[in-house]
Amino acid sequence: MNDYLIFILALLVFNWLLSLIVETLNLKNASTEIPGEFVGIYDDEKYAKSQRYLKDTTKFDLVQSAVMLPLTIAFILLGGFSWMNDIAQNTAQSMILQGLVFGGILMLIGQIIGLPFSIYSTFVIEEKFGFNKTTPKTFIADIFKSLLLTVLLGAPIFALILWIFSSVPYAWLWAWAALSIIQLFILFIAPVVILPLFNKFTPLEEGELRSAIEKFAAEQKFTLSGIFKIDGSKRSTKSNAYFTGFGNTKRIALFDTLIENHSTEELVGVLAHEVGHCKRGHIKKTILISMASTLLMFFILSLFISKPGLYAAFGIDGTPLYAGLIFFGFLYAPINMILGLLGTILSRKHEFEADAFAAETTREPTHLISALKKLSVDNLSNLTPHPLKVFLEYSHPPVLDRIKALRKFEG
Ligand SMILES: [Zn+2]
């Protein structure tokens, strides 16, 4: 066994053990007593239901990772990648086409293994708790649309990166520049080209809500290029709101399920939070940080991409670039995890800042607080996650922490 292989296997096992520990701690942290803020909002029965939901989804995640770990290790040790490489080399002549075959097989395997889990999660767990609205037709259409996007966007990008790494000096720098431009372009077109493939965006109708949102935006000198209602109810009763795009494709999208269950004041509170993300420069910052971390990744990739040991670890003779890009992903996982951790720390800080912006600009935090409470109850969110789980995975602070911070703005 070579050093790369030992390192990668140890990493896979370590990650699995870590998630096992975190999830166990998280389950133990659930308390049957309703937290003070939620007394009167949750009744005992619904609160117990939220805890059953936590248990079921956690168990599901643990089973999935317990299946994926041995499958991944067996695939590596039994020469799965070398088998894929043989197919790629027998199918195509050029390295780039071989890469597309190799990547395509890997994607199909991933899809096939993921499918039963995805079906179970949507049609058994989400169904059991009354969230699921996805019809089998929508479910299948979603799979094909995602595959189509992967083929139309993913394949050319993968081919471009392969071409750069096989023909251009300082490939890591050029690959980074090319990918960054493409990512910005995708972010720009996503709201008008990609997202409408999955959801229907309807301009929010004239009326009390639209006027209230426009009044708030005008007060904040915030140009909204579109306020849309999207049909989240097509897939789930869970609700959400988000901003997409930037520049003149910038849109606010409110789930129909959110609009249904919240008052106008609460919705303006939610919108103010989203506007806060823009006004405080969070979106720009996040894009810049992601570009910087991509640069780091490509640089480290350039150090390992021609090491025969990395390929030998996966049973491959020679150094076919397309396989190296995939193998590097295994090697890079720890750095990726650390960067991801820093990213979630920053994201939680941004959430507090956006909440503070909403509290200051709407002059009272009450409505955002009640919106957050309703969202938690409607989505059966875990109110008492374990601090380690929050530290490792939460992009948003736990709702009780957000409410506590918002209460400080009460007049
Ligand atoms: Zn936010």
Confidence of residue 240 (pLDDT cuts 50, 70, 90): confident
Alpha-carbon gap, residue 130 to 143, rounded angstroms: 22
Residues 123 and 176 in one domain: yes
> 54-106 pLDDT, tens per residue?
999 999 999 999 999 999 999 999 999 999 999 999 999 999 999 999 999 99
Q: How far is the CA of 99 from the centre of ligand 1 (A)?
A: 38
Query: Is 138 in the same domain as 154?
Result: yes
For the segment 136-159, the average pLDDT, to the nearest whole number, is 96
Residue 347 lies in a domain: yes
Distance CA 78, CA 5 (A): 13
Segment 352-367 mean pLDDT:
94
In angstroms, the CA 282 to CA 287 distance is: 9
Q: How far is CA 221 from CA 215, 217, 361, 392, in A?
A: 10, 6, 12, 36
Domain membership of residue 13 (yes or no) is yes
Distance 194 CA to ligand 1 centre (A): 22
Domain that holds residue 258: 201-265
186 in the same domain as 100: yes
Number of domains, the chain: 2
Average confidence (pLDDT) over 237-255: 81
Is pLDDT above 90 for 219? yes
Q: Please check whether residue 274 lies inside any domain of the structure.
A: no
Average pLDDT (195-202) is 93
Same-domain pairing of 149 and 295: yes
Indicate the angle between helix axes 264-279 and 366-378, nearest 10 degrees. Answer: 100
Instruction: Give the Å distance between the CA of 365 and the centre of ligand 1.
Output: 15
Q: For residue 271, tell me if it sits in a domain.
A: no
Do 222 and 84 fall into the same domain? Answer: no
Q: Ligand 1 centroid vs 292 CA: distance in angstroms?
A: 22
Question: Is residue 53 domain-shared with residue 190, that is, in the same domain?
Answer: yes
Mean pLDDT of the chain: 94
Q: How far is the CA of 266 from the centre of ligand 1 (A)?
A: 15
**Domain annotation covers residue 272:** no
- Residues having C-beta closer than 5 Å to ion ligand 1: 351, 354
Does 273 map to a domain?
A: no
The 3 state secondary structure assigned to the chain is CCHHHHHHHHHHHHHHHHHHHHHHHHHHCCCCCCCHHHECCECHHHHHHHHHHHHHHHHHHHHHHHHHHHHHHHHHHCCHHHHHHHHHHHHCCCHHHHHHHHHHHHHHHHHHHHHHHHHHHHHHHHHHCCCECCCHHHHHHHHHHHHHHHHHHHHHHHHHHHHHHHHCCCHHHHHHHHHHHHHHHHHHHHHHHHHHHHCCEEECCCCHHHHHHHHHHHHCCCCCCCEEEECHHHCECCCCEEEECCHHHCEEEEEHHHHHHCCHHHHHHHHHHHHHHHHCCHHHHHHHHHHHHHHHHHHHHHHHCCCHHHHHCCCCCCCCHHHHHHHHHHHHHHHHHHHHHHHHHHHHHHHHHHHHHHHHHCCCCHHHHHHHHHHHHHCCCCCCCCHHHHHHHCCCCCHHHHHHHHHCCCC
Structure tokens at 53: 């939901």
Whether residues 255 and 370 share a domain: the answer is no
List the CATH number of the domain containing 213: 3.30.2010.10
| pTM of the predicted model over 0.75 | yes
Last residue of a domain, one of 242, 265, 288: 265
- Residue 148 — pLDDT band, cuts 50, 70, 90? very high
Question: Do 26 and 386 touch, CB atoms closer than 8 A?
Answer: yes
Flag whether pLDDT at 247 surpasses 80.
no
Ligand 1 centroid – CA 400 distance (Å): 15
What pLDDT, on the 0 to 100 scale, is given for residue 248? Answer: 66
Asked if residue 302 and residue 250 are part of one domain, the reply reads no
What is the 86 CA–ligand 1 centroid distance (Å)?
47
The answer to whether the CB of 396 falls within 8 A of the CB of 351 is yes
Confidence of residue 249 (pLDDT cuts 50, 70, 90): low
What distance in angstroms lies between residue 353's CA and the mean position of ligand 1's atoms? 9
Exposed, middle or buried: residue 247 (CB in 10 Å: 0-12, 13-18, 19+)?
exposed
Of residues 26 and 244, the one with the higher pLDDT is 26
CA of 269 to the centre of ligand 1 (A): 11
380 pLDDT exceeds 70?
Answer: yes
Kindly list the catalytic residues: 274, 355
Q: Which residues are paired to 229 by β-bridges?
A: 202, 254
Domain assignment present for residue 270? The answer is no
Q: For 24-65, what is each residue's pLDDT tens digit?
A: 999 999 988 999 999 999 989 999 999 999 999 999 999 999
Would you say residue 254 lies in a domain? yes
